[in-house]
Amino acid sequence: MSQRGGYLLRKVGWALVTLAVVITLNFLLFRILPGDPATAGVRDPRLNQAAIEDLRARFGLDKPVILNLEGGNPFDTQFTAYLAALARGDLGTSFAYRDRDVSELLGEALVNTLWLILPAEFFAIVFGVALGLFAAWRRGRTADVASVTFSLFMWALPIFFLGIILLIAGVTWFDLPVAGRLTIGAEYASLADLAWDVGRHLLLPTLTLGLALLGEYMLIMRSSVLEIFGEDYILTARAKGLSTYRIIRHHALRNAMLPMVTLIALTLGFTVAGAIQVEAVFSWPGLGSLTVNAVSDRDYPVLQGAFLLLAVSVIVANLAAEVVYGWLDPRVVED
Amino acid sequence: MSVIEATAQISTATEPRLRWRSFLSHRSGLIGASMLIVAILAAVFAPWIAPYDPYAPVVGLTPDDIFQAPSPQHLLGTDDGGKDVLSSLIYGARVSLLVGFTAAAIAILIGALIGLVAGYQRGWFGSLLMRITDIFLVIPDLALMIVLVAILGPSLRTIIIVIGILGWTGTARLVRAQTLSVRERKYVMRAKAVGAGDMHVLRKHILPAVLPLMLANMVLVVSLAILDESSLAFLGLGDPTVISWGQMLNFAFDRGAISAGAWWALLSPGFAIVWVVLGTTLLGTALEDAVNPRLKRHHLESPGSDVARVGTVAPPPPVAAGLEEPILRVRDLAIEFDSDGGPLRAVDGVSFDLRRGETLGLVGESGCGKTTTVLGIMRLLPPGGRIVEGSVWFDGDDLVGLDGPTLRSFRWTRLSLVFQGAMNALNPVRSVGDQISEAIRLHAPSTSKQQAARRAGELLDRVGIPARRAREYPHTYSGGMRQRAMIALALACDPDVIVADEPTTALDVMIQAQILELLGGIARDFGMGIILVTHDLGVVAQVCDRVVVMYGGVVAEENDAATLYREPQHPYTQQLLQSFPDVAHPDRPLRGIPGSPPRLGAMPPGCRFAPRCPHAFDRCNAERPPEYEAAGGRASCFLLDPTEARP
């Protein structure tokens, strides 16, 4: 369908524009640092002269920042050098972990973060949708009031604090590990042992993030369903003789899921914020921990790369949600 | 307007403004406000309340002072630096609230400005602003805050500014949506048409409508800012020179509170954050609700509670021998709606019959109970409405007494519905053909998918829609086509009776005529009974055999259509006829009926039409008129009482 193709093209176009803004922002942010990136690093005793030279060359610090107005190639600037490096996938070298490429560090951390986020999102979406639907159907009854109270409380709990509470509970009563991804120095007899150890480490962080997202999704789903249940076509469905179950299944669920898809995409920033906090509490070696450590180490190349990767992930996930939306809702061609 | 809005006596289309009475009735809002006030008092009076000064340098610290359990000297114990947790907690309120309110003020200011401009100025500049908002909405804000604070250095001022300039997107979207809706209102258009300047319109019309929403939004932005500050502080990006709750958690957590078992040093600041955020959230949602009350009802609430009739009712006596028994006999139907001031009676003792193949018009001004009556007959009353008296005999069964499953099998196979406007009566995300097949296969489960789809195509063809369009979605249909599709849907299971509620409202005159012709043709061809609900007497004259005129929830008059137009008996019918153009007498002056129909809470004690009736006399205001036979029909008016001297 060409109209739907147009919709997709428009969405991809906007994702690219957003991407361009984020890349530019990422470049400019690290130019407002006091001094230039290389001398800011010089104060760090871990940097040797070779590394500084490398930095100067890579950033092209002798060149103008954005536009070369002093003759010669007007695009021979720091910004184009940055873009060229980015295009090669070169995000520089970490200050703190010497000799390690930032892109390599980010790759490892991203995998760990996905291990955390994906199960948490799955848990939160399944239970958030179910609970929101149930609460809307039982509007004003005990079940509804209880779920709304629970969600409000989850919303008011800072995610890192929820993590600390679960950590105290897990360590005290369930003998779960405090931090990290694996037990340090452990030997594994089999793959199952390894999986079991990772699972035990993953349980609390995932549960923390999952619960925090659950409250959010439940409230969104509830208000979405309430609106749909008041629509005239639900009355038509009742008049046709459909049972409540069939009305919900065939006439309400899909319609209510539509705003959910968009809103889940819009709360992806919230998911990232949650992941950063959860990783900080549980020392989970993902993008969040990498970011926080880069801040305390003044490891700007890593900080810059991590922010870019986080922003790009959200843009991509957002685009994916738009595509799903376009596939679910026949009306998208109109806007 | 949805069916719920039209019938359940709830209005949502009012201007957003803060309804104090409504806010004060929200218990959760008051609780939230008190929680916030406690925190503000603690912040303001910290030096007087706090037992110790947390900013004073600690002298002579011994290992025993660190992480002391709660005791009479230290009600909440001590922290990793040997300081009193309670005192830090009280002083911490200052930082959290300062950051929360100032950052929120910055965010609201930027958001409101961008939202106002983007909503009011709808040229390229406005849409550019909106695109920028969309882009900022996608950037993960905590990550950007971390980067900015790390680069600029974690001073309190930097933190406030960073949280403020990254928190505006939500407000901008809200304000833009509200501005857009206000600038399309008639009074704003009118003000602009008579030459009011932009600043005048903004100040006098837009701002008053936007401000209440912004107030509610402000409270929620404050809670977000407090959460952001605590997250930054916990991640080690708090201002090291001040004490904040996030900072307390950061220090305690990093310096071994968990291994030391010092839960008080962690739980106290954590729950302080929860206290303030929960307080602001409760307050904010209550304010939002008071500004913009939501519809509190939906169609799937507590099924089965729409009948509150006591006991069973005997069927009406059969009609005279030789006459056909009516398919539908409504007897003394009374319907009430819940309201804050107790139940309101929307329909009070309505009776009429419908025969097969007959088209019955149910007419009257809006708000006289027509739609409620037919929804009651179909047992589809919106929540809060219930049948309290009377019966609906359908081919020998009393619909009012049927249980859920029996009623469901009755629906659509015997009694189907075409309703108001039909703009939203079809599900937007399922194809039209699919929605017709669904009804067919529900009531005849042995039908194959292909058979049902073929039949759906035939039905669409019958109402003048090409069968191939069955695969399309409702939004691709025009208004008239949607209405015809709805009629095709109503025909899906060969019902005995179709109820059509205002099927031609919101359609233009040509399409109206087509729809009416279609309905008339269906009644003839299929021998179905049709109840046509309308306020348009022209429509009735065109297609109806009999007419029931309703006023204030009761039947004013009933007669066959020709007689009713020729010899209206009830003064209301007479006036209603005079207020519509008559093709036979185009030079007759049109006259509206002065006044308006009675509101549900304020029904006149006697005849409901008495206050507007030119012929009313004392008895009309005191007693309810019974039905009198007149001109071969019936009418409820004392003028028809043979014992009354005609005035």
What is the 3 state secondary structure string of B81-99? CCCEHHHHHHHHHHHHHHH
Q: Does A310 sit within 8 Å of B143, measured CB to CB?
A: yes
Rounded Cα–Cα distance for residues B576 and B568 (Å) = 10
End-to-end CA distance of chain B: 43
The chain A residue lying nearest B232, using CA atoms, is A277
For B629-635, what is the mean pLDDT? 83
Mean per-residue pLDDT, B548-562: 88
Three-class DSSP category at A62: coil
pLDDT of residue A176: 66
Task: Answer whether A17 sits within 8 Å of B135, measured CB to CB.
Answer: yes
**What digits encode the pLDDT tens for the residues B355-377?**
888 889 998 887 788 888 988 88
Both tokens of B344, joined, read 């309101």
Cβ contact B270–A165 (<8 Å) = yes
Q: Are A112 and A284 in contact (CB under 8 A)?
A: yes
Query: What integer is the mean pLDDT of B112-118?
Result: 85
Q: Is the pLDDT of residue B11 over 50?
A: no
Query: Which of chain B's residues have a Cβ under 8 Å away from the Cβ of A160?
Result: 230-231, 234-235, 249
CA A310 to chain centre: 6
| pLDDT beyond 70 at A41 | no
pTM (2 decimals)? 0.80
Contacts of B24 (CB under 8 A, 6+ apart): B30
Nearest residue to A156 (alpha-carbon basis) of B138, B145, B230:
B230
Inspect the interface and report whether the beta carbons of B270 and A296 lie closer than 8 Å.
Answer: no
| Distances in whole angstroms, Cα of residue B305 to Cα of each of A94, B309, B369, B385, B562 | 68, 10, 20, 9, 40
Please tell me which of the candidates B141, B150, B412 has its beta carbon nearest to residue A269: B141
Place of tokens 């708000």: B367
Q: Which two tokens stand for residue B158?
A: 């930097």
Residues in chain A within 8 Å Cβ distance of B407 = 241
Beta carbons of A273 and B295 less than 8 Å apart: no
Summarised one tens digit per residue, pLDDT across range B445-463 is 888 889 889 989 988 888 8
Q: Please name every residue paired with B530 in a beta bridge, in sequence order, or none if there are none.
A: B359, B498
* Closest Cβ–Cβ partner in A156, A157, A229 for B299: A229
Q: Which pLDDT score is estimated for B12?
A: 40
3-state secondary structure of B532: strand
Of all residues in chain B, the one with the smallest CA distance to A243 is B408
Closest Cβ opposite residue A158 in set B134, B227, B267:
B227
Read off the pLDDT of residues A123-151 as tens digits, 9 standing for 90 and up. 988 998 889 888 888 877 788 888 888 88
The DSSP annotation for B322-382 comes to TSPPPSEEEEEEEEEE--TTS-EEEEEEEEEEE-TT-EEEEE-STTSSHHHHHHHHTT-PP
What's the confidence (pLDDT) of residue B76? Answer: 66
Q: In what order do the strands lie in the sheet with B546-551?
A: B415-418, B497-501, B529-534, B359-363, B546-551, B554-560, B633-635, B628-630
- pLDDT one-digit tens code per residue, A63-97: 666 666 666 666 667 777 778 778 777 777 776 67
Q: Which residues of A touch B292 (CB under 8 A)?
A: none
Chain A nearest-CA residue for B224: A156
Contact yes or no for A281 and B253 at CB 8 A: yes
Q: CB neighbours of B235 closer than 8 A, spacing ≥ 6? A: A160, A276, A277, A280, A292, A295, B146, B250
Mutate one of B5, B427, B472 to test the A interface: name it (highest A CB count within 10 A).
Answer: B427
Q: What is the pLDDT of residues B259-283, one digit of tens each?
A: 777 777 788 888 888 888 888 888 8
Summarize pLDDT for A249-292 with one digit per residue, the tens. Answer: 888 888 888 878 877 777 777 788 888 888 888 888 888 888 88
Whose tokens are 């015997």? That residue is B414
**Residue B447 Cα distances to A225, B409, B417, B439, B442, angstroms:** 32, 16, 22, 11, 9
Mutation site, B99, B131, B299, interface A, largest A CB count within 10 A: B299
Average the pLDDT over each of B168-172, B317-321, B352-356 and give the range with the smallest value.
B317-321
Weakest-pLDDT range from A239-243, B210-214, B643-647 = B643-647
Backbone angles phi, psi at B556, to 5 degrees: -85, -45
Q: How confident is the model at residue B538 (pLDDT cuts 50, 70, 90)?
A: confident
Rounded to 10 degrees, the C-alpha dihedral B308/B312/B317/B323 comes to: 60
Rounded to an integer, the average pLDDT of A162-187 is 73
Place of tokens 């049109």: B590
- Kindly report the number of other CB atoms within 10 A of residue B505's CB atom: 16
Question: Which range, A45-54, A158-167, A178-187, B318-327, has the best average confidence (pLDDT)?
Answer: A158-167
Dihedral sign for Cα atoms in the order B203, B205, B206, B212: positive
Tell me the pLDDT tens digit for each residue of B281-317.
Answer: 888 888 877 776 665 667 777 555 778 877 777 777 7
List, in sequence order, the alpha helices (H) in B444-536: 449-462, 479-491, 509-526
- Minimal Cα distance from B443: which residue of A? A241
Of A254-258, B51-55, B432-436, B521-525, the range with the highest mean pLDDT is B432-436
Probe site for chain B from A236, A255, A257 (most B CB atoms < 10 A): A236
What pLDDT score was predicted for residue A42?
A: 46
B433 vs B591 pLDDT, higher one:
B433
Give A188→chain B minimum CA distance, Å: 27
> Closest Cα partner for B87 from B116, B62, B113, B50?
B50
Q: Which of A32, A241, A298 sits opposite B412 (nearest CB)?
A: A241
pLDDT band at B479 (very low <50, low <70, confident <90, very high): confident
Residue with tokens 């970011």: A291
Give B-chain residues touching A331 at CB under 8 angstroms. Answer: 428-429, 473, 475
Which residues of chain A neighbour B429 with C-beta distances below 8 Å?
254-255, 258, 328-331
Work out the pLDDT band at B548, boundaries 50, 70, 90: very high
Residue B564 has pLDDT above 70, yes or no: yes
- B332 vs B591, which has greater pLDDT? B332
Q: ipTM, 2 decimals? A: 0.82
Full 3-state SS string of B194-206: CCCCHHHHHHHHH
- HSE at residue B168, side-chain half, CA atoms within 13 A, is 26
Query: Token pair 């009393």 is at which residue?
Result: B398
pLDDT one-digit tens code per residue, B195-219 = 777 777 777 777 777 787 788 788 8
Cβ of A156 within 8 Å of Cβ of B438? The answer is no
What CA–CA distance (Å, rounded) separates B607 from B554?
10
Enumerate the residues of chain A whose CB falls inside 8 A of the CB of residue B266.
164, 168
Beta carbons of B143 and A244 less than 8 Å apart: no
> Going along B212-343, which residue ranges are E strands?
328-337
Looking at every residue in chain A, the average pLDDT score rounds to: 78
B306, exposed or middle or buried, with CB in 10 Å at 0-12, 13-18, 19+? buried
* β partners of residue A93: A101
Nearest CA-CA partner of A24 in A65, A69, A72: A65
- Dump pLDDT digits (tens) for B126-135: 788 888 888 8
Task: Give, for B549, the enclosing helix (H) or strand (E).
Answer: strand B546-551
Cβ pair B299:A331 closer than 8 A: no
Answer yes or no: is pLDDT of B545 > 70: yes
Around Cβ B224, how many Cβ atoms within 10 Å? 21
Q: How many CB atoms lie within 10 A of CB B319?
A: 13
Q: What is the mean pLDDT of chain B?
A: 81
